[in-house]
Amino acid sequence: MVTSRDNGEGRAWAYLESRKNLTGSACGLAGVVLTFTGAAGPYWPVVVAGLYGAGALLAPPERPAPPDFPDPAAQLSAQLEEVRGDFGRLRSYLADVELPSAAGGRLTELTGLLAALLEPGWVAEVLAADPEAVHAVSRAVRQDVPEAVDAYVRTRWWTRMTPGQEPPERHLERQLALLHEEAERLTAELRETEARRQESHTRYLEDRSG
């Protein structure tokens, strides 16, 4: 249990180590030196106390250290690493699902594009610099693709029980096509980011060359 005495001792030690006390003590020491040289005269206690007080007032105030929050870029990189792990689990799941050839082809194109974006290296670094892009890839891996495939598997069973309904693979093919279009748009946006970076460097070199 922390008592008021402990708090008082803690505050006392904190003040002794503070900038105000250290600066005031240095100025007070200068007053002691003046006393020994005779410059302070009979009023040396007032001089020493005054110099100490002046030093304490002039010392910069104590500033608490700001919170050490994680770097946003590091957070995005860590998030992307988690998505990469989830993508590996998604591919293992998809390997066990039987799909019609057309839907399987579209799924292969989509997962190939996602794999290229998530591959460790400079492409993933470009992706990690865009929070919205990271969110889009995460949503595709963790929600959109597994939901589309699972919905197909469930609906296919009901269709077999009640033939004559609309084939569920049509919806799956359309969903995968839409997801592939989204992934292509995302890839194009990241490419534009790199193109603008290249153009900016060209303008910089042109301006530097006069």
Same domain, 120 and 186: yes
Handedness of CA 205, 206, 207, 210 (dihedral sign): positive
Rounded to whole angstroms, the Cα distance separating 151 from 144 reads: 11
Q: Is residue 179 part of a domain?
A: yes
Rounded to whole angstroms, the Cα distance separating 108 from 71 reads: 35
Say what the pTM is: 0.65
Backbone Cα Rg of the chain? 34
Rounded to whole angstroms, the Cα distance separating 172 from 163 reads: 18
Same domain, 77 and 21: no
Closest alpha carbon to 110 in 170, 166, 185, 193: 185
Same domain, 192 and 104: yes
Q: Is residue 189 part of a domain?
A: yes
Q: Is residue 65 part of a domain?
A: no
Residues of the domain holding 40:
4-58
Rounded to whole angstroms, the Cα distance separating 115 from 90 reads: 11
Same domain, 93 and 155: yes
Same domain, 51 and 79: no
HSE (side-chain half, CA atoms, 13 Å) at 64: 3
The 10 Å Cβ neighbour count of residue 191 is 11
For each of the chain's 210 residues, which pLDDT tens digit applies?
445 555 555 555 555 456 555 565 665 565 555 455 555 555 556 555 665 666 655 556 666 777 776 677 778 788 889 999 999 999 999 999 999 999 999 999 999 999 999 998 888 888 888 889 999 999 999 999 999 999 999 998 877 767 667 788 999 999 999 999 999 999 999 999 889 989 999 998 988 887
Q: Is residue 172 part of a domain?
A: yes
